[in-house]
Every structure is written in structure tokens, then in C-alpha cells.
Amino acid sequence: MGFLAKYLAFFKMSILHHLRNYKLLIGLCIFQLTCLLIFAHIWKVAAARMGTIDLDPKLLLWYIALNEWILIAVPDIEIDMEYELKTGQLAYFLPRPISYLGSKLVEGVGALLLNMLVLGATAFLFVYFWTGALPLPPTSFIITVLMGILAGFLSLVFTMVVGISAFFVHEVEPWRWVWEKFLFVFGGLMLPLTIYPQWMQTIAHWTPFPAILGGRSGLIFNFELEAMLWILFSIMVWTSIGLIFLYTLYKRGLKMLNVEGG
Amino acid sequence: MGVYKSLQFYLALLKTSIKASVSLRWNFIFEMFLMLFNNLIFFSMWWIFFLQFNDIAGWTFRDMAALMSIGTGAYGLRQICFGGVKSLARYIVSGGLDSFMTQPKNILIHIIGSKSLPNGWGQLLTSLLIVVLTGLTDLYTTSMIILGVICGCVVFASMAIISHSMAFWLGPVETLAQKYCDSLFLFALYPSNIYSDILRFMMFTVLPAGLISYLPVELVRKFSWLYLFGIVSGALFLGTISFAIFYLGLKRYESGNQVGIRA
């Protein structure tokens, strides 16, 4: 129980810390609505160009809101991790009776959940008043939102993988760019996945990106049990892979730090 | 401190920063090629798009290549020449400006020139590769692309300074500043002619991606004194505003208690 209490304390601290910084949350909300409008327009033009104008613009707005929600809510935890690893602050964390990686993960989850709550409320209310209806029956919509929370966690894990790479590289920024580019392209944020050749769509299917963005949000166009279960399975598998990868990199990095110094 | 002396100081600082970034040789090469790879993913997506649809609102693949060349080149130049801007919000919040303020140099120039990021060379290399591979090599096109890259670099740096300087008023907004700068780069790489009137207005004000994408590409397509004036004056205006906002915010700066020196 004491084991959990330590992490719970970090979780609470993270939420309180981010709540106190409410100006950032307001800024993120405004930013999210701006991106929502821009992407909605880009998609409208792309859809018209592709001849898929029959795509319901109201559903399209919901789709983009569900994507932007995850994308903006995931905290930039890799910046803090890079800073702590590069400046040697990690040395102060290591003697504590709590895992550095565990505390960072819990802190990240705290920030993620708070961001998701505030940004979700803003975006969904905005789109609801804009379109006048939910994209799905309430139960299905709640399931889609819950899957969004899991997808946010998956994205957070891989963001931490990017952050932990600071053990091995000088700057983590290029890795973050690569991760985001794949997310935008294979996640179907940049343009609809259907405009790409079939082989690219097949590749995308076997990556975590559609589960984080396009595939999951796409449930609002066609909410089927089979598709939902596949996305849930994909999220679970990729989260496990991400966590194992994260832990392995952390252990290797620590070993390197112990042998070679900071 | 006069403009000439500030410029001299900045050039010396830049030289040292670039030397420092190149000194970690393998890391430098790795980051550079990782960035090149990253940009080529993005470029390939547009290439595939244009293979299927010949144009988008009148823009052809050649225009898109010019846009990518200008956008990546401008961002790369910002990373190389003004890499220190990335840490500005953190310095403001954590009291890290103290060590810069104790020196008789222009503070902002000192901060933004204090770091040169290796991945910027990858962006510049992408820009160059696109120019060569897509045949944008005639004198007029190349000179307009270079002009677009330089002005775009000023716009990217200015907007980064402005967004990070918000930390003077709003506190720890590094995340927001980072997301804003990333989005500016992302939206600058979309063909701006697809935006409607309101969004186009936004693309020249709140998110001035239009200054980096729309105007320079239109200039590459056909020369216009108006567009040329728009690009240069827009970049100069944003540059001036960014300095003004930073120094306005600096009046609100509260010193930290960190002990440290800066050589």
C-alpha cells in the first residue's frame, strides 16, 4: 500500500502543479480551437479534391477534435526529461526511495488526465454547439472517449521513450520530430489515410499511429465492435511494447551513467 | 551597445556555438541525417499526393517543392543561428537570465545566439536537396528561395521569441511556446492557397505561416514588387516587435537565486 501511496502523492502533486499553472491550460485551449478550425478547413479541401465530398462535415469536425484532443493533451514530458538528464539533475532523483521512471510516468499521467479533462471539455462542447449533436449514441461516444484516454497514455509512453533517449543522444528534438511526423502521416492527421496507396495503408495498420489518432477517431464514422476491439487490442499491445522498450532504455542508460559517469 | 558592435558580438558568438555543436562529431552527423530523414518522410507524402492529384488549388508539385525548400531551409537556419531561443521560456521562469544580465552585451542576442542546434543542418540539407532534385536551380528561382529562407528564418525566430517571452506574463508556458512553434512550422508546410479568407488572415497574423509559405512561393512563381515588399517588411516588422516584447517583459523579470557563471 505504501508503495502505491508514494506514486499517488506524485500523481496528486502533478495535478496540483498543473492546476496552479491554469494560464497554460487556457492557452492550450485557445490553441486547440485554432488548430481545430485550420485542420477542419484543410480536410474539407482535401476531401473535396479527393472526390469524397460526401463525408459529413459535422462528423469530420468531430474526427479532428478527437485527434487534436490527444495530440495537444499529451504533456511535453520529454523536454523535462532531457533537461534533467543533461544537467545531471537525475543524480538527485536516484537516491530517492522511488523510481525516477515511475515517478515521471505518474507525473505524466497526472498532467495528461488534467489536460484531457480540460481540453476535452472545451473541444467537445465547442464542436457539440457547432454541429448540434453528438457523433454517436451516448454509450458509443463514451467508449470512444475512454479509448481516447488509453490512446493518450500510449502516446505518453512513447513521448517518454523520446525523452529517455537523452541518455544516448545530445538533443531529443530530432526524435520527437520523427515520432510526430509518423504520427501525423500514419495517424491520418495530416491528410486522410485513404489518399495514400494501399501498401502504405497496410503499413500504417500495423503501427501504433492509427490507434492513437485516425483509426480510433475514425470510429465515429462507423462504430463497429470488430473495429473497436482491434483498436483496443492495438493500444494494449503497443503500450506493452512501449513500456518494455522504455524500461530497457532506462536500465541501459543508468548502466552507462554508472560506468561512465554523467 | 551599438548595432555594429552587437552584430560583431553575435557573429563571434555564432561561430563559437557552431564550433561547439560540430565538436560532438558523431552526434552532429546523426542528428543531421535524422532530420533529413524526417523531412523526406513529409516530402514523400506530398509527392504521393501530387502523383494522384496534379494540382491543389492551382499549386503544382513544383510549387510544393519550392514551399518545402523555403520552409525547411528557414527553420533550419533558425535552428543554426538562433538555437538558444528554445530555452528562453525556461530561463525566464527559472531565473536563468541572471547570468546573461551581468554581462555588458545585448541580452536577447546573447541568449538566442548562445546555442546552435545540429539538426538545423539537416533541415538546410533537405532544402538544398529538394532544390537540386526538383530542378529549381535557375538563377531567379534560387535567389527567391534564398530570400524566402532568410526572411522565413527571421519570422520563425521572431515568433519563437514572442511566444517564449509570454513566460514573463504567464509563467511556465514552455510547453505552449513549443507547441506554437511546431505548429507554425507545420502549417507553413501546407499550401497556403487552400485557406479561406478568415484562415488566410490568421496565416498572416496569429500564425504568420503565410509569410513563410504563401508569399515566397508566389514570388517564385512570378515576380511581384508587392510580394517582395510584403516578405521583407513582414520579417523586419516581426523582428522589431519580438525585441520590443522581450524588453517589455524583461521589466517584469524577477531574479532567481541560482548560483552559476557563464563564460
> Interior CA angle at A10 toward A6 and A13, to 5°?
135
Specify the residue for cell string 508569399. B215
Specify the residue for cell string 485550420. A38
Residue A193 pLDDT exceeds 90: no
Partners of B59 in the β-ladder: B56
What number of C-beta contacts closer than 8 Å exist between A and B? Answer: 101
Return all residues near B48 (Cβ < 8 A) that are at least 6 apart: A195, A196, A197, A200
Return all residues near A248 (Cβ < 8 A) that are at least 6 apart: none
Three-state DSSP at B59 gives: strand
Q: How many CA atoms lie within 13 A of B5 on its CB side?
A: 5
pLDDT score recorded for residue A52: 53
- Whole-angstrom Cα distance, residue A156 to residue A112? 8
Chain B hits for A42, Cβ within 8 Å: 190, 194
CB contact (8 A) between residue A184 and residue B202: no
Can you read off the three cell numbers belonging to residue B102? 551581468
When scoring B22, B37, B38, B85 by the number of chain A Cβ atoms within 10 A, the one with the most, hence best to mutate, is B38
CB contact (8 A) between residue A185 and residue B41: yes
What's the average model confidence in pLDDT over A63-84? Answer: 90
pLDDT score recorded for residue A161: 95
Residue A117 pLDDT exceeds 90: yes
> pLDDT tens for residues B14-38?
999 999 989 888 888 988 988 898 8
Percent of chain B predicted with pLDDT > 70: 97
Of B72 and B175, more confident: B72
> pLDDT tens for residues A44-72?
776 666 655 456 778 888 988 999 999 99
CB contact (8 A) between residue A45 and residue B194: yes
pLDDT score recorded for residue A259: 75
Phi/psi for A164 (5° steps) reads -70, -20
Chain A hits for B86, Cβ within 8 Å: 173
Chain B hits for A184, Cβ within 8 Å: 186
Chain B hits for A180, Cβ within 8 Å: 182
Percent of chain A predicted with pLDDT > 90: 44
Can you read off the three cell numbers belonging to residue A121? 471539455
> pLDDT tens for residues A135-148?
999 999 999 999 99
> Contact B125/B36 with Cβ under 8 angstroms?
yes
What's the average model confidence in pLDDT over B87-109? Answer: 89
- B208 to chain A, minimum CA–CA distance in Å? 13
When scoring A25, A37, A45 by the number of chain B Cβ atoms within 10 A, the one with the most, hence best to mutate, is A45
For the ranges A188-202, B182-196, B234-248, the one whose mean pLDDT is highest: B234-248
pLDDT score recorded for residue B1: 62
- The count of other CB atoms within 10 Å of the CB of residue A145 is 15
- Whole-angstrom Cα distance, residue B51 to residue B34? 26
Among A134-148, A178-192, A247-261, B192-206, the minimum mean pLDDT is found in B192-206
- A140 to chain B, minimum CA–CA distance in Å? 31
What is the value of pTM for the model shown?
0.84
Chain A hits for B50, Cβ within 8 Å: none
CB contact (8 A) between residue A185 and residue B42: yes
The rounded mean pLDDT for chain A is: 87
Q: How would residue A42 be classed by pLDDT, with cut points 50, 70 and 90? A: confident
> pLDDT tens for residues B193-245?
777 777 778 888 888 888 888 899 999 999 999 999 999 999 999 999 999 99
> Contact A63/A221 with Cβ under 8 angstroms?
yes
Residue A208 pLDDT exceeds 80: yes
Q: How would residue A149 be classed by pLDDT, with cut points 50, 70 and 90? A: very high
CB contact (8 A) between residue A76 and residue B199: no
Beta strands in B132-229 (DSSP E): none
Percent of chain A predicted with pLDDT > 70: 92
Q: What are the domain boundaries of chain A?
A: 2-260
Return all residues near A54 (Cβ < 8 A) that are at least 6 apart: none
How far, rounded to the nearest angstrom, does the alpha carbon of residue A53 sit from its chain's CA centroid?
29
* Length in residues, chain B: 263
H or E element that contains A65 = helix A57-73
Establish if B202 touches chain A: CB-CB under 8 angstroms: yes
Establish if B184 touches chain A: CB-CB under 8 angstroms: no
Of A34 and B67, more confident: B67
pLDDT score recorded for residue B163: 95
| Chain B (12-31) residues lying within 8 Å, Cβ to Cβ, of chain A | 24, 27, 30-31
Among A24-38, A83-97, B46-60, B95-109, the minimum mean pLDDT is found in B46-60
